[in-house]
Amino acid sequence: MPVSEAYEIVVIGGGIAGCFAAATAADRGADVVQLERKSAEEAGHIACGDAMKSPTDSKKYPGPIDMSAIAADEDVLIDGNIDRIEWWDEELDVKKVLPYDGHSNVVDRYEFGQRLLEQTAACGVDQHFDTVVNGVLQDAQVEGVRAVRDGEAVTYTADLVVDAGGSLSSVMANVDFGSLDAEPETSFEKPNYQQFGSAYREVFHTQAPVPYDNALVGKPLERMGYIWYFPRTATEINVGLGFQMNKDPVTLVDRLRADLEGRPEFDGADLDTVNGGANKLGAALALRRPLDSMVAPGYITVGCNAGTTHPITGKGIRGAAVTGYSAGKHGAAAVRDDEDGFISEADLWAHNYFVYVEHGLGTRTAVKDPYNIAASQVGMENVRAAVALLPEDAIADVVSSEGNSLGVRSAIRLASGVVQNALSLVSDDRLEELDTTKRAVGRTLLDFVRTRRYAEKYERLYGEYPATRDGFFEWRDARDAVDDAFNDELGIPADRRKY
């Protein structure tokens, strides 16, 4: 007989979303256990570029976790060391530099993760490490999970399961959403692996300071991929790369090596270590908009699994914190107010509404996604050529939201004006060097100007995300109609659409 333990809320995952969810729910009086497959020593060691902005802004990192206390810990490296973004397209001889505000950091992700776990425990959460969740208990609702803890089978029963297991969570994969009690069907949107990317990173100590110690450096790679050089300090650099999973797979480690070999500042560099092991890790990350609905009976998902990473840059720490906080807050309220022993989707709806409307991170993330779709459609080579040819402010003009609220005719006039204006800055010599034409660049720019009109439509729609579950299916139909119109306008065939 497996050991059985009962809690009000089971949180799976000791990452950012799991810590924010568990700490918030416990702080609000719920009886919470947090399950993490890694050991207490290894937990918090997570594949990440480690870039985070404004860590002590309580709107971005809400809840009982004291981010100022974490920022004060020197080992975490929250030191505002980043004030610019650099875009290197070395093949095209391009380097663009954009200012980035002074609250940006490249942190030591392991130390950060450990501090989060400590604070979560201090909020009254029971933490079970070395505990791998490998099954789900469900009937009309999700009722708990099966796990192996230190080699022993354990079941955890709960009123609510918060799945903070990260991208493409194996826990979500075990839930049979179709058989849960939700009429006319579950609102939960199960993501598709092609909407995710795979990424890998290593952390190096260089012998001498790098010249880009206060920059987030990005470089384009083939097949909609990118590589980054993110300095934690002038001599401690997080280097990584990622690709979308809708393209042919790439051998990430070899591709990273190839890029490092061309960089003299990495001659003689040593790999960092964590707990005596090399600091190199890979993982999947969501490159999609947040899930239409993140709740099912007795179940909420958060963080990367819920699609709250930025679909272009891959930033996800903040999305994990906000959705984790929301699940903790609204999950604890649903458990406390439950009278019939059944936690329905309607009971958990406040989580979706908070993420999309009250906080708004979900909407801000969702409206970036059309640009990702447009870049995929026009092709990386055309995006690179446009970036190479245009000054920074002309690029900003193309994707800015100004004029989006105009009628269709005025908007088309404005669009062609913006494109003409941008093209007038392009020299024939440079076009020849880049082996492209004004026509090809103009087409790319026009697609982006069109995209910004759709981004505004999406923004309006997500701003009207329903406050209760009753309006959800109608809302989703309206959003799907915008998806169709957008894909049609960009000429994306039905079998290549993202959603």
Interface residue list for ligand FAD (CB under 6 A): 12-18, 35-38, 46-52, 132-133, 164-166, 170-171, 199-201, 240, 283, 285, 303-304, 309, 314-317, 320
Q: What are phi and psi of 392, to 5 degrees?
A: -55, -40
Nearer to ligand FAD, 295 or 445 (CB): 295
CB of 99 to ligand FAD, least distance (A): 19
Nearer to ligand FAD, 202 or 447 (CB): 202
Scanning the structure block, which residue is given the tokens 């909609």?
224
Nearer to ligand FAD, 203 or 395 (CB): 203
Task: Quote the CA–CA distance of 201 and 239 in Å, as a whole number.
Answer: 6
DSSP string covering 229-272? EEEEETTEEEEEEEEETTS----HHHHHHHHHHT-GGGTT-EE-
Nearer to ligand FAD, 203 or 434 (CB): 203
Cβ density class 126-156: b for 16+ within 10 Å, e for less: ebbbbbebeebbbeebbbbbbbbbeeeebbb
CB of 472 to ligand FAD, least distance (A): 23
Nearer to ligand FAD, 21 or 434 (CB): 21
According to DSSP, residue 202 is labeled E
Nearer to ligand FAD, 201 or 288 (CB): 201
Query: Is the CB of residue 187 less than 8 Å from the CB of residue 34?
Result: no
Nearer to ligand FAD, 26 or 48 (CB): 48
DSSP string covering 274-340? ETTEE-EEEEEEE-SPPPS--EETTEEE-GGGGT-S-TTT---HHHHHHHHHHHHHHHHHHHHH-SS
What are 85's strand-pairing partners?
98, 216
CB of 52 to ligand FAD, least distance (A): 5
CB of 200 to ligand FAD, least distance (A): 6
Closest listed residue to residue 492, CA positions, set 437, 454, 442 = 454
Which pair of tokens denotes residue 165?
């297991």
According to DSSP, residue 438 is labeled H
Query: Is the CB of residue 274 less than 8 Å from the CB of residue 45?
Result: yes
Torsion of CA 333, 339, 345, 348, to 10 degrees: 0
Q: Is the dihedral of CA 24, 27, 30, 36 positive or negative?
A: positive
Nearer to ligand FAD, 111 or 447 (CB): 111
CB of 203 to ligand FAD, least distance (A): 11
Nearer to ligand FAD, 199 or 398 (CB): 199
In 13-130, the DSSP E strands lie at: 32-35, 51-53, 82-89, 94-106, 126-128
